[in-house]
Amino acid sequence: MFIKLFKGRYSVLFSFLAIFVFISLLIRTVLFIDSIGKTDFSFLGVVRIYLLGFVYDFGVGLFLTSFYSLYLLVLPDRWSASIVNRIITYIVLFIILLISFFSFFAELTFWEEFESRFNFIAVDYLIYTYEVINNINESYPLPLLIGGVLVMVFLVMWLFAKKKVFENAFQSAIAFKNRVVITGVLLAITLFYTLFLTNAFAESSTNRYENELSKAGIYSIFSAFKNNELNYNHFYTLLPKDKAFALIRNELKDQQSTFVSTGNSIKRNIQNGGRLYKPNVIMITVESLSASFLAHFGNTEKITPTLDSLADKNLMFTNMYATGTRTVRGMEALSLSIPPTPGSSIVRRQGNENLTTVGHIFEKEGYTRTFYYGGDGYFDNMNEYFGSNGFDITDRGRNIKIGDNYLTKRTIIQDDQVHFENAWGVSDEDLFDAVIRGSDADDKAGKPFYSFVMTTSNHRPFTFPKGKIEMKQGNREGAVRYTDYAISEFLKSIEKKDWYKNTIVIIVADHCAASAGKNEIDIDKYHIPCIVLNMPLKGKMIIDKLCSQIDLYPTLFSLLGWNYESNLYGQNVLNLTYQPRAVLGTYQKLAYLKKDSLVILGPQKVTQTFLYHKKSNEQIPNKLSKTVINQAVANYQTAYDLFKNGGLHQ
């Protein structure tokens, strides 16, 4: 019976399903082979990958053919051989094949970059098409790839014609009641997938690669779009609200701080004492700068000679960890000093204006504040976020119009100020030139300045001006070396400025170059460098305590002797009462690392606990004390509560 249906009116539909599942199997196998050597796969794990993968692939195939299935239900038998039906069938097949083959190509390139199936990042890429399309065009031979996709589409259609798939579809009649049964079953299964099968079903293994390989790309992107923001209170482990705030207040309490109010707040007055310094501050946030790129942390490629030289002479955090895996998450940590909350970064959320940011502390001290970005700050809502939190904007904007929420001005990096540009923005040298122009203007106006600088050169397509360094373009190592060179040239230029003697330069990463590993959260893939130059008390200083990006400014303010009102989760790492810990996560998983105790919180109120061995980067499942678990929950639960309920607003 099934064979007859396969050769009848539904032959195109079922043949497409067979082709789609088969090619999905090939893609999964390619990704599996790529992953061998990066983790250990058990026999049962491999079986799980392919069985569960088939389930997801079949579901995607059903989604892609659902409208065509409805069309076949209502198509009268007498129209089966009509020219109209032939045209519609050819067009529908062409479209779903085009979508399929394009998604297969996109999955391979996405995996190359993130070693993951599609996730929130892919959703962002669909939104910011200009940067993404240009990035793909500069990274890959796009005309050849498009041509290749079209060739594969027409090859399949030729194969269908040769095997008489179209002939069977156009010449076969089938009773309406049978069509109702077939289409009804197909749509019922599709509905079952929609209502009951989520991507979380593929995330039951402790081996992240097994989880990702089990998924299907298109299924994952719709899942990511649906879960763009997760309500912590609905999906994660909770404590009574008063207890959660009591725990976090106890963690933040030290001899320099006094809480402003009782109850569900972390706002406190910080009294650092000591000699007061008010230098200019330029923070260079380097795109994807993993600690592992520096010789200081064992790299032997000599791609960061400038940074390594600076690390030998200045203040350096050697045990700092990023809070996330995307630029906007690093921006959130460095500007708000808050643990990551599930879903998108606060930079991209509604209601993120007029927050008690680090910039707000500088504002109260009389500083101008500027956000410098080498690309268009429309991307990832950067300009809206910084602008509505009091920063001036300098970027390579295409759209000069400023939204209603901007509180300050925007400066566009002009064409004649650009010597090199790729899909993501101007070269780091051109960006640093803009920083120098802005700093000169601020100094001339007689006001101290705080600059948040975000680079782009160390991002695919990894291209940069020719003749600057002796390394090839198009690879990460060359881009890192160029950024290091650009920083060197920038420092040489500003050292000649009168304002430099009273200027601190911070060099820190937004996140690491890669976050994928065998674990859902691979701790060593969050390890970043942070160097602070030209401190008032000059000389080498190593801070080797475990800490997070969120601790940078509370520590800096203590060294500068600032007294201020803090709504920050970050702490002064140099305080004698500081308990080393790090907060980090993905879009859904939230991690809390304290000494060797690792707590990972996930949706469906899942709490996993491990002992973490730093040297081997191993996470050994282990039952931890309730104390450290509750501390982890308190950090994330209260951070989510404060943002959602206005506790982080001015």
| pLDDT tens digits along 152-201 | 999 999 999 999 999 989 987 788 888 899 999 999 999 999 888 888 78
- Please write the tens of the pLDDT for every residue from 260-316: 988 899 999 999 988 899 999 999 999 999 999 999 999 999 999 999 999 999 999
Reduced to 3 states (helix: H, G, I; strand: E, B; else coil), residue 145 is helix
Consecutive H or E run containing 577: none
Reduced to 3 states (helix: H, G, I; strand: E, B; else coil), residue 107 is helix
Q: How far apart are CA 428 and CA 453, in angstroms?
A: 10
Please tell me the predicted confidence (pLDDT) of residue 2.
Answer: 47
Reduced to 3 states (helix: H, G, I; strand: E, B; else coil), residue 564 is strand
Tell me what percent of the residues of the chain surpass a pLDDT of 90. Answer: 72
Please tell me the predicted confidence (pLDDT) of residue 203.
Answer: 80
What dihedral angle (degrees, nearest 10) is formed by the CA atoms of 181, 182, 187, 192?
Answer: 80
E-state strands within 214-305: 257-259, 268-271, 280-286
Residue 6 has pLDDT above 60, yes or no: no
- Residue 605 is given by DSSP the state T
Contacts of residue 645, defined as CB under 8 A and 6 or more positions apart, other chains included, come to: none
What dihedral angle (degrees, nearest 10) is formed by the CA atoms of 112, 117, 121, 124?
Answer: 110
Consecutive H or E run containing 620: strand 618-621
Q: Tell me what the mean pLDDT of segment 6-28 comes to.
A: 91
Q: Evaluate whether the domain defined by 279-574 bears CATH number 3.30.70.3280.
A: no
Q: How far apart are CA 207 and CA 615, in angstroms?
A: 19
Q: Tell me what the mean pLDDT of segment 248-255 comes to.
A: 93
Domain boundaries, the chain: 2-226, 279-574
Consecutive H or E run containing 316: strand 315-321
CB 571 within 8 A of CB 254: yes
Q: How many CB atoms lie within 10 A of CB 621?
A: 9
Please tell me the predicted confidence (pLDDT) of residue 228.
Answer: 60
Q: How far apart are CA 292 and CA 525, in angstroms?
A: 9
Closest to 75 measured CA to CA, from 191, 190, 173: 173
Consecutive H or E run containing 250: helix 241-252
Select the more confidently predicted residue: 331 or 408.
Answer: 331
CA 67, distance to chain mean position in Å, is: 33
φ, ψ (nearest 5 deg) of residue 334: -80, -20
- Please write the tens of the pLDDT for every residue from 563-597: 999 999 999 999 999 999 999 998 889 999 999 99
Q: How far apart are CA 19 and CA 360, in angstroms?
A: 57
77's tokens = 């038998």
Please tell me the predicted confidence (pLDDT) of residue 582.
Answer: 98
Torsional sign, CA 302, 306, 307, 308 = positive
DSSP state string for 55-104? HHHHHHHHHHHHHHHHHHHH--GGGTTSHHHHHHHHHHHHHHHHHHHHHH
* Parallel, antiparallel or unpaired: strands 541-543 and 527-533: unpaired
Residue 561 has pLDDT above 70, yes or no: yes
- Please write the tens of the pLDDT for every residue from 511-539: 999 776 667 788 999 999 999 999 987 67
Contacts of residue 349, defined as CB under 8 A and 6 or more positions apart, other chains included, come to: 229, 343, 643
Predicted TM-score (pTM) above 0.75: yes
Tell me what percent of the residues of the chain surpass a pLDDT of 70. Answer: 94
Q: How many CB atoms lie within 10 A of CB 586?
A: 22
Cis upstream peptide for 141 (omega within 30°): no
Q: How far apart are CA 649 and CA 564, in angstroms?
A: 16
Give the CA count within 13 Å in the CB-facing half-sphere of 359: 28
Q: How far apart are CA 510 and CA 122, in angstroms?
A: 19
Please tell me the predicted confidence (pLDDT) of residue 171.
Answer: 81
- Please write the tens of the pLDDT for every residue from 593-615: 999 999 999 887 889 999 999 88
Please tell me the predicted confidence (pLDDT) of residue 476.
Answer: 93
Length of the chain, in residues: 650
Q: How many CB atoms lie within 10 A of CB 472?
A: 9
- Residue 365 is given by DSSP the state T
Please tell me the predicted confidence (pLDDT) of residue 4.
Answer: 55
Please tell me the predicted confidence (pLDDT) of residue 26.
Answer: 96
CB 598 within 8 A of CB 202: no
245's tokens = 């705030």
